[in-house]
A and B are shown apart, each in its own frame.
Chain A
Amino acid sequence: MESTETARSAPSATTGVRAGVAGVRRVELPVSGLTCHNCVQAVERALRAVPGVTRATVNLAGGRAFVDYDPTEATVSALHEAVRSAGYRSDATKARFGIRGITCASCVTKIEGALLTTPGVLSASVSVGMEEAEVEYLPSVADLAAVKAAVGSAGYQVVEAPAPAGPDALDREAKARELEYRSLMRKWWFGAVIGVFTMILSYPWIFPGLRDWFPRGSPQLWYVWAGMGVASFAVLLYSGSQFFTGAWDALKHRSANMHTLIALGTGVAWVYSTIALLFPQIFPASEFTEVYYDVTVVVTALVVLGLAMELRAKGRTSEAIKKLIGLQAKTARVVRDGKEVDIPVEEVLVGDTVVVRPGEKVPVDGEISEGSSAVDESMVTGESLPVEKKVGDEVIGATLNKTGAFRFRATKVGKDTALASIIRMVQDAQGSKVPVQRIVDVVSGYFTPSVAILAILGFMTWYTVGPEPRIVFALIVAVTTLIIACPCALGMATPMSLTTGIGLGALNGILIRGGEALQTAQKLQTIILDKTGTITHGKPVLTDVVAAGGVKEEELLRLAGGVEKSSEHPLAAAIVEGAKGRGFTLPDAEGFNAIPGHGIEARVEGRALLLGNLKFMRDRKIPLDGLDARALELADGGKTPMFVAIDGKPAGIVAVADTVKEDSKEAIRALRGMGLEVVMITGDNERTAKAIARQVGIERVLAEVLPQDKAFNVQKLQLEGKQVAMVGDGINDAPALAQADVGFAIGTGTDVAIAASDITLIKGSLRGVVTAIRISQATMRNVYQNLVGAFIYNVLGLPIALGILYPVLGILLSPLLAAIAMSFSSVTVIANANRLKRWKPRAA
């Protein structure tokens, strides 16, 4: 951070906040690293030493400094610098935003100048190339609005980063969809009503009453048909307008789509009928002069109805994302200037203290600073049981506070919250492509023109070698072929299933990065599980206390805990926690001496206590009396035993171990049940690793693997020709996750946007892996069903439409049936994708 000279004495008028106040100004600076009363004094002294500061008080509990200063002499940056030079931190927030209109280097100095004179801004750097500014500011003094106002005052405009879609955008989308649906339905009814009349009046000789009024070839019938010609033209213009404009727009881009085919089919039928009606003399026989206005009208109406149904079904496909967005809290109650105020959630800043009462939503991500409660996180993590939270625990925005009231410090707000990241990731993933889609893309590029070519070939064949009346057969075949082909079913097959499948994952606490991960996850053969933190909790706990030599168990643990209280060893913490957990008050130790690689010695309650490994006991010549055999037994169970001796006599063993998560065993059994080879990878020694592996039912263990070698081990398994997944935490195991065909990151609370992983499990349980694989299997099954269905439909439908069955069975498809089949096929694809939503994770 660039330190700013105190000489920059501008009583800035560039912000809207606290500007223009003459005389003494007061700021509240967040200070962290305060641990004792001495620190408070040190910070106060440092602040008072800044010229212009008239008063400085520091509140130890709140971690805040209240400073009165003269803005003509001191700046907030100087105060910030003073806190820093005293050895403490004053937490600043960084913001990055785009600026429009930067054209030259001089603009940079101008904007930076405007930003730096804003109280609360510590540093600002503007980049011409990126048209961006990065500003570091104290959120308690300036807010982002003030920072942006400063840019505005310099004559430039801030470009807002596109925010994640809010509920409003979705409402708009839904409304647009509703309007489109209504318009389609109007078009359908118009077409349907005219269609009924056209169908009846095209064949009046079938109906007894009409037969007498409109005999075949009579002039009255000609007038009726002429009327139908006009009415069907109206249907084409109104109900079928989107087909013609769509076809024309596509044609301008030298492409063709469903619209092209429908427009061609209905258009050809109408033009033929009109010619037959107006110029019957050009046809050699009277049976050629029949009209096909019914085809035009009914096909248009049916396809429009199909589009409307498709729209309805599609709206349901993106329900998952709607649910996620709807979870966002609208308001937050934060403490500002010592008072609780309700503000819109968008205005919550990092560092704010947020108050949450029972039954309320947690508005943003943060860390509990006061109070405790049970929080229902099911909406984000998929975990159905409420999670107990105490001071220091992370809370996730959008989760529901159940029992108690608490306060927390906001750590992530706005688009950085876990929920916003989840929504963004899900939206990106839903827009990605499944690799199989590439084949479809290639096919669909050729599909529509090929259908047009087929229709022409069909017409030629039927006209050249077909039965009489040749032109009628040729026409029907060509029109039916154009109409039955359904490029939409093919095109929608994968995206619809993918959107539903990824949404399904998100609702179960599983974030799938894209179609590729989804496709790979369902054909995995081997799954590597990291031991620490994945199979186990990743935190050692006290498991066994073995008392010997007449010492009571409680006594042993209490004294051992007292000694370990002074130790910084991670295993010591487990013993202290374990002892405290049993309700003991731990005595203080004196003469503490840690011997690295051996153990510790200390005096506690007047007794000499030794705590350490076997070597330590041997060195000190402590007789073990068979305790070593018991220790070996514990070690075989994957535990770390530590001997305790009191006053030179053996007193017992305390053992700690990293315990297996409750559901790991079940999850591993489920994975094996799916036919996957499960491998455990760990840096632990062979014995401990084997012991854990036995507990959870894993046969293949890769032990004593250094962290940097994990990726290499993944690769070794891949060289066996297997599709390998790696499950681990997203930070230490990142290279291994990236190396694997599918990397599963076990998420920890709010840190969901883990870059190296293909799939992130928000709930830190192995069960998520099982669910993720099941979801990907279900989704890919759905994709293939859709693809195969759409493919078979076209492969069967086209030859039938071309009349391949006619020479054998005498069957020729009517264009009306073709229209029904084609609408039905695309609705089926979407309905099948929506079926995925009913998928439920089985207990695993």
Chain B
Amino acid sequence: MTWDKVAVDVVGLALIGFIVWFFWLVKVKGVKAALTSGGYQEQMVLVKGGYTPDVIVVEAGKPVRLNFVRQESASCSEMVLLPAFNKSARLPEGETVPVEFLPKEPGEYEFACQMGMFRGKLIVE
């Protein structure tokens, strides 16, 4: 084994390690939804290449309103689904679309685009 082969393998393994760490091992801290005077826990979600923020923390038993704003034209993201709450919404570009629901049980729920390329998580405490 020559030195260049060793170098390529070492770099390759390091890259693989980085991919595993970057995509799967890092835990993202969530953003806590703000409580409005109307009693809703509101959070703005930007839809552009993904959901920002993509981890949202809310309290159980209080209504939640997620305001989605889609700022891209890729047809992938034109819908957002919250299968756990049986909600879905079409997101026209540039419009704010509110999605309201009441999380009853604590737990982690996913929201995603129709193809599952964009994902976000709702942590109910």
Contact surface of A with B, Cβ cutoff 8 Å: 102-103, 128-131, 162, 165, 169, 172-173, 176-177, 180, 242, 245-246, 248-250, 252-258, 311, 314, 427-428, 431-433, 437, 440-441, 444-446, 449, 452-453, 456-457, 459-460, 463-464, 474, 487-488, 491-492, 495, 514
Say yes or no: A440 contacts B38, CB within 8 Å. Answer: no
Is B68's beta carbon under 8 Å from chain A?
A: no
Q: What are 10 pairs between A and B in contact, CB < 8 Å?
A: A249-B48, A256-B23, A427-B90, A428-B88, A437-B116, A445-B119, A464-B1, A487-B117, A488-B117, A491-B116
Q: How large is the interface on B (under 10, 10 to 19, 20 to 34, 35 or more residues)?
A: 35 or more
Is B61's beta carbon under 8 Å from chain A?
A: no
Q: Given A242-B74, A255-B119, A464-B5: A250 and B92 within 8 A (CB)?
A: no
Say yes or no: A449 contacts B81, CB within 8 Å. Answer: no
Is B44's beta carbon under 8 Å from chain A?
A: no
Contact surface of B with A, Cβ cutoff 8 Å: 1, 5, 8-9, 12-13, 15-16, 19-20, 22-24, 26, 28, 37-39, 48-52, 54, 72-75, 79, 81, 83, 86, 88-90, 92-93, 97-98, 110, 112, 114-119
Which of the residues A103, A246, A255 comes within 8 Å of B23, measured between beta carbons? A255
Bound-state CA distance A298–B89 (Å) is 37
Which of the residues A128, A165, A176, A180 comes within 8 Å of B90, measured between beta carbons? A165
Interface centre among B86, B88, B116 (most CB of A within 10 A): B116
- How many residue pairs, one in A and one in B, have C-beta atoms under 8 Å apart? 121
B24 to chain A, nearest CB (A): 7
Bound-state CA distance A245–B72 (Å) is 11
Q: Which residues of A contact B86 (CB under 8 A)?
A: 428, 432, 514
Which of the residues B38, B54, B114 comes within 8 Å of A495, measured between beta carbons? B114
Closest chain A residue to B48 by CB distance? A249
Which of the residues B81, B116, B118 comes within 8 Å of A431, measured between beta carbons? B81
Q: Which residues of A contact B92 (CB under 8 A)?
A: 169, 172-173
Say yes or no: B88 contacts A431, CB within 8 Å. Answer: yes
Bound-state CA distance A632–B1 (Å) is 99
Bound-state CA distance A449–B26 (Å) is 14
Which of the residues B5, B9, B12, B20 comes within 8 Å of A449, measured between beta carbons? B20
Given contacts A441-B116, A463-B9, 8 further A-B contacts (CB under 8 A): A246-B74, A253-B49, A255-B50, A314-B75, A428-B86, A456-B19, A488-B117, A495-B114
Summarize A's interface: helix, strand, loop or mixed: helix
Say yes or no: A464 contacts B9, CB within 8 Å. Answer: yes
Q: Which residues of B contact A446 (CB under 8 A)?
A: 24
Closest chain B residue to A255 by CB distance? B50
Bound-state CA distance A317–B75 (Å) is 13
A220 to chain B, nearest CB (A): 32
Q: Which residues of B contact A437 (CB under 8 A)?
A: 116
Closest chain B residue to A315 by CB distance? B75
B72 to chain A, nearest CB (A): 8
Bound-state CA distance A169–B92 (Å) is 8
Q: Which residues of A contact B73 (CB under 8 A)?
A: 176, 180
Bound-state CA distance A70–B38 (Å) is 40
Say yes or no: B49 contacts A252, CB within 8 Å. Answer: yes
Say yes or no: A432 contacts B50, CB within 8 Å. Answer: no
Q: Given A180-B73, A456-B16: A433 and B49 within 8 A (CB)?
A: no
Say yes or no: A495 contacts B12, CB within 8 Å. Answer: no
A306 to chain B, nearest CB (A): 13
Q: Which residues of A contact B23 (CB under 8 A)?
A: 254-256, 449
Say yes or no: A103 contacts B37, CB within 8 Å. Answer: yes
Bound-state CA distance A492–B5 (Å) is 40
A182 to chain B, nearest CB (A): 12
Q: Which residues of B contact A253 (CB under 8 A)?
A: 49-52, 54, 118
Bound-state CA distance A793–B38 (Å) is 51
Say yes or no: B50 contacts A249, CB within 8 Å. Answer: yes
A760 to chain B, nearest CB (A): 16
Q: Given A255-B23, A457-B12: A431 and B115 within 8 A (CB)?
A: no
A813 to chain B, nearest CB (A): 21
Q: Given A130-B38, A495-B115: A432 and B9 within 8 A (CB)?
A: no
Q: Which residues of A contact B9 (CB under 8 A)?
A: 460, 463-464
Bound-state CA distance A694–B115 (Å) is 49
Interface centre among B1, B22, B110, B114 (most CB of A within 10 A): B114
Say yes or no: A180 contacts B75, CB within 8 Å. Answer: yes
B22 to chain A, nearest CB (A): 6
Bound-state CA distance A250–B23 (Å) is 11
